[in-house]
């Protein structure tokens, strides 16, 4: 995959947006739902897939992952480092690569993608985000991670029930991303900022 300087700039921009989205409640504390911090990582991840295309979006999410593992505090709660790999929520960080890639891939496969195409693609991305992330969390609590305070057992059902508020919020953001992505893409395409290898 040959990348232009502009491609790398766009990838870097979305990696930066991921860092901001992970910690948005640090700057705007009142943004929460039932006490659950309102992060925007899934929104920016899926938007990257819809706008940058499968490969460049995956590159962007990989850059975000590697920067965090290298020690730059870009993960939620300004966390970073290799020790985050054993975190129960690390699966969600890994899932961003797959969510962005397949969101972009589905859109790329359609010559003239409609709003429905974008909705389907972004929902697939959201599903991958939660399937990978929640399963990682479940197995983490079964195998190595200490249980949350006051919790004696984390069943598969319990793990998914914890995701309810997050999923409701991310579902709304995902639909929003699907609606605005086609318009943003057309604007970027007119300015020659996107190549033919990005989302269609």
Domains of the chain with CATH codes? 5-190 (1.10.1760.20)
- Sign of CA pseudo-dihedral 28, 76, 71, 95: negative
Supply the pLDDT for residue 34.
Answer: 44
Q: Phi and psi (nearest 5°) for 185?
A: -60, -45
| The two structure tokens encoding residue 152 | 């004696």
DSSP state of 35: T
Q: Phi and psi (nearest 5°) for 174?
A: -65, -45
Supply the pLDDT for residue 44.
Answer: 98
Across 28-37, 51-60, 81-90, 104-113, least confident range? 28-37
Percent of the chain at pLDDT exceeding 70: 90
pLDDT at 24 over 60: yes
Supply the pLDDT for residue 195.
Answer: 59
Name the band, by pLDDT with cuts 50, 70 and 90, for residue 194: low
Name the band, by pLDDT with cuts 50, 70 and 90, for residue 191: confident
From the list 53, 43, 47, the residue with the least C-alpha distance to 105 is 53
pLDDT at 176 over 90: yes
Task: Give residue-wise pLDDT tens across range 53-100.
Answer: 999 999 999 999 999 999 999 998 899 999 999 999 999 999 999 999
pLDDT at 33 over 70: no
135 to 143, 157, 158: CA distances (angstroms):
12, 11, 12
Model confidence, pTM? 0.90
């Amino acid at each position: 995959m040959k990348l232009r300087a502009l491609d790398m700039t766009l990838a870097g921009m979305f990696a930066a947006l991921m860092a901001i989205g992970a910690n948005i409640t640090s700057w705007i504390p009142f943004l929460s739902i039932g006490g659950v911090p309102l992060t925007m990582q899934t929104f920016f991840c899926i938007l990257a897939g819809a706008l940058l295309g499968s490969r460049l979006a995956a590159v962007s999410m990989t850059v975000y992952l590697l920067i965090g593992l290298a020690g730059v505090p870009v993960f939620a709660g300004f966390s970073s480092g290799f020790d985050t790999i054993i975190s129960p929520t690390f699966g969600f960080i890994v899932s961003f690569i797959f969510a962005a890639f397949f969101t972009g891939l589905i859109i790329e496969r359609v010559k003239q993608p409609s709003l429905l195409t974008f909705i389907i693609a972004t929902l697939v991305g959201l599903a991958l985000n939660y399937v990978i992330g929640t399963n990682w969390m479940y197995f983490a609590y079964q195998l190595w991670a200490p249980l949350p305070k006051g919790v004696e057992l984390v069943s598969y059902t319990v793990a998914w029930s914890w995701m309810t508020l997050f999923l409701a919020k991310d579902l709304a953001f995902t639909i929003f991303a699907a609606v605005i992505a086609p318009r943003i893409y057309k604007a970027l395409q007119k300015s020659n900022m996107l190549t033919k290898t990005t989302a269609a």
